[in-house]
Amino acid sequence: MTGTRVGARPRARADSRAAGTGPRRRRRARPAALAVPSLLMVAAGLLLTAGGLLVQSGRAPAATQRTVVLTMYHTHFLPAVVRVKPGTTVRFVLRNTDPIDHEFIVGDDAVHRRHRVGRDQHHHGEVPGEISVPAGTVASTSFRFDRPGRFAYACHLPGHEAYGMVGTVEVG
Ligand SMILES: [Cu+2]
């Protein structure tokens, strides 16, 4: 029995070489064949993503988004002036580098008048453009500027606006 097996091996190798389709070649071909479908799947995924973006932008053609980072430093806003185009939704990212709490309120004159006399000192993001920013933290809020004009942002915690914690959004 043993003698038969030993004798058969060389013959089998010779056969596969002659055929030109030995086990080695087949094994090499497999990863390449698998790579093609997976590349197609990636491409299809990208197309789907692109399609989704097109559909989104088709819903609101004029919508523009921007992120503006404002630093709260020594009870001031840096920068103190921001310029945007009408129709822009601005995501304000507020970095409070001070050891005291601040807040960010953006809006028209009526909004600021209300906050100057109001007692509400906690804004958790339920109102667009109004957010509390505890000492040493980062918070964000989004606000859409529909019409041209000047909109103020301020911190209405006692004394902060008078101290200079105000800024302007110029929309136009
Ligand atoms: Cu403040």
Q: Ligand 1 centroid vs 163 CA: distance in angstroms?
A: 9
Q: Is the dihedral of CA 114, 119, 123, 127 positive or negative?
A: negative
Q: Ligand 1 centroid vs 92 CA: distance in angstroms?
A: 16
64-171 topology per CATH = Immunoglobulin-like (2.60.40)
Q: Ligand 1 centroid vs 145 CA: distance in angstroms?
A: 23
CA angle, corner 95, sides to 89 and 101, nearest 5?
A: 115
Q: Ligand 1 centroid vs 3 CA: distance in angstroms?
A: 94
Question: Where does residue 133 rank: exposed (0-12), middle (13-18), buried (19+ CB within 10 A)?
Answer: buried
Q: Ligand 1 centroid vs 96 CA: distance in angstroms?
A: 9
Helix (H) or strand (E) holding 47: helix 23-59
Whole-number pLDDT of residue 27: 52
Structure tokens at 75: 């009870």
**Percentage of the chain modeled with pLDDT above 90:** 58
How confident is the model over 147-168, as pLDDT tens digits? 999 999 999 999 999 999 999 9
Q: Ligand 1 centroid vs 113 CA: distance in angstroms?
A: 16
How confident is the model over 111-124, as pLDDT tens digits? 999 999 887 778 88
Whole-number pLDDT of residue 118: 80
Whole-number pLDDT of residue 88: 97
Q: Ligand 1 centroid vs 119 CA: distance in angstroms?
A: 14
Give the integer Cα–Cα distance in Å for 106 and 95: 16
Structure tokens at 20: 């030109």
